[in-house]
Structure 1
Amino acid sequence: MPMPSYNALLDVPNYPADRYASLADRLKRLLATEADLLFIQAEAILALEAVAASIARPGLTAINIITSPYGTYFSAWLRRGGVTVHDVVAEPGQPIELVAVKAAINDLPSLDILAVVHGEAANGALNPIAEIAALARARDALVVVDAVASVGAHPLAIDSLGVDIVAIGPQKALGGPVGLSAVTVSERAWAHIAATPRFSPSILSLLDLKENWLDRGRGVLPGTPPPLDFWALEAAVDRVEAEGIDRLVARHQLAARASRAGLRALGIEPWIRDDHAASALVTAAPVPEGIDAEVLIATAAEFGIALGRGFGDIKDRLVRFDHTGARAAFASVIASVVGYGAALGKLGITVDVGAAAEAVALTYALAIL
Structure 2
Amino acid sequence: MSRFDPRLLLDPPRYPADRYAPLADRIKRLFATTQSDVVFVQAEAILALEAVATSIARPGLVAVNVVTSPYGAWFGTWLARAGATVHQVSAAAGQPIEAAAVSACLDRLPHVDIVAAVHAESSNGALNPLGALAALARSREALFVVDAVASVGGHPIDFDRHDIDIAVIGAQKGLAGPAGVSAVAVSARAWAHIDALPDFAPSSLSLAELKRNWLDRGRLALPGTPPALEFWALDAALDRVEAEGIEQVIARHRQAARASRAGLRALGVEPWIAADDAASALVTSAPVPEGVHADALIADVAKLGVGLLPGFGEIEGKIVRLDHTGLHASFDAVLANVTAFGAVLERWGASVDVGAAVRAVREIYAL
Which category describes the TM-score, using the shorter chain as reference length? Answer: over 0.9
Q: After the TM superposition, list the runs of 4 or more consecutive aligned residues in structure 1 that deviate by more than 2 angstroms.
A: 1-8
Which residue identity is paired with 1:211?
R
Q: What is residue 164 of structure 1 aligned with on the other side?
A: 165
Matches within 5 A, 1:76-95: 76-95=77-96
Q: What is residue 48 of structure 1 aligned with on the other side?
A: 49
Q: What is residue 124 of structure 1 aligned with on the other side?
A: 125
Listed one character per residue, the Cα deviations across residues 74-102 of structure 1 (whole Å, up to 9, x for unaligned) are 01000001100000000000000111011
- Aligned partners of 1:146 and 1:61: how far apart in 2? 19
Which residue identity is paired with 1:29?
R
Structure 1 residue 299: Cα displacement: 1.1
- Aligned partners of 2:301 and 2:348: how far apart in 1? 10
Matches within 5 A, 1:205-284: 205-284=206-285
Q: Secondary structure at the match of 1:168?
A: strand
Q: Secondary structure at the match of 1:200?
A: coil
Structure 1 residue 8: Cα displacement: 2.2
Q: Is 1:154 equivalent to 2:185 in the alignment?
A: no
Q: Is 1:16 equivalent to 2:9 in the alignment?
A: no
Q: Secondary structure at the match of 2:73?
A: helix
Q: Secondary structure at the match of 1:88?
A: strand
Q: Is 1:71 equivalent to 2:72 in the alignment?
A: yes
Q: What is residue 174 of structure 1 aligned with on the other side?
A: 175
1:300/1:200 CA distance change after superposition, 3 Å: same
Q: Unaligned stretches of 5+ in structure 2?
A: none
Which residue identity is paired with 2:12?
V
Structure 1 residue 30: Cα displacement: 1.7
Q: What is residue 198 of structure 2 aligned with on the other side?
A: 197
Q: What is residue 347 of structure 2 aligned with on the other side?
A: 346
Which residue identity is paired with 1:223?
G
Q: What is residue 25 of structure 2 aligned with on the other side?
A: 25
Please, what TM-score do these two structures have when normalized by structure 1?
Answer: 0.98
Q: What is residue 294 of structure 1 aligned with on the other side?
A: 295
Q: Is the 8 A contact 2:66 2:89 kept in 1?
A: yes
Q: Is the 8 A contact 2:30 2:152 kept in 1?
A: no
- Aligned partners of 1:280 and 1:345: how far apart in 2? 26
- Aligned partners of 1:44 and 1:311: how far apart in 2? 17
Structure 1 residue 313: Cα displacement: 1.1
- Aligned partners of 1:176 and 1:345: how far apart in 2? 36
Q: Unaligned stretches of 5+ in structure 1?
A: none
Listed one character per residue, the Cα deviations across residues 234-268 of structure 1 (whole Å, up to 9, x for unaligned) are 00000110100100000000000000000000011
Structure 1 residue 4: Cα displacement: 2.8
Q: Secondary structure at the match of 1:161?
A: coil
Please, what TM-score do these two structures have when normalized by structure 2?
Answer: 0.99
Q: Secondary structure at the match of 2:160?
A: helix
Which residue identity is paired with 1:5?
D
- Aligned partners of 1:240 and 1:6: how far apart in 2? 25
Which residue identity is paired with 1:304?
G
- Aligned partners of 2:224 and 2:2: how far apart in 1? 35
Q: Secondary structure at the match of 2:365?
A: helix
Structure 1 residue 347: Cα displacement: 1.5
Q: What is residue 60 of structure 2 aligned with on the other side?
A: 59
Structure 1 residue 150: Cα displacement: 0.3
Q: Secondary structure at the match of 2:110?
A: coil
Q: What is residue 3 of structure 2 aligned with on the other side?
A: 3
- Aligned partners of 2:320 and 2:5: how far apart in 1? 35
Q: Secondary structure at the match of 1:160?
A: coil
Structure 1 residue 305: Cα displacement: 1.1
Matched positions, count: 366
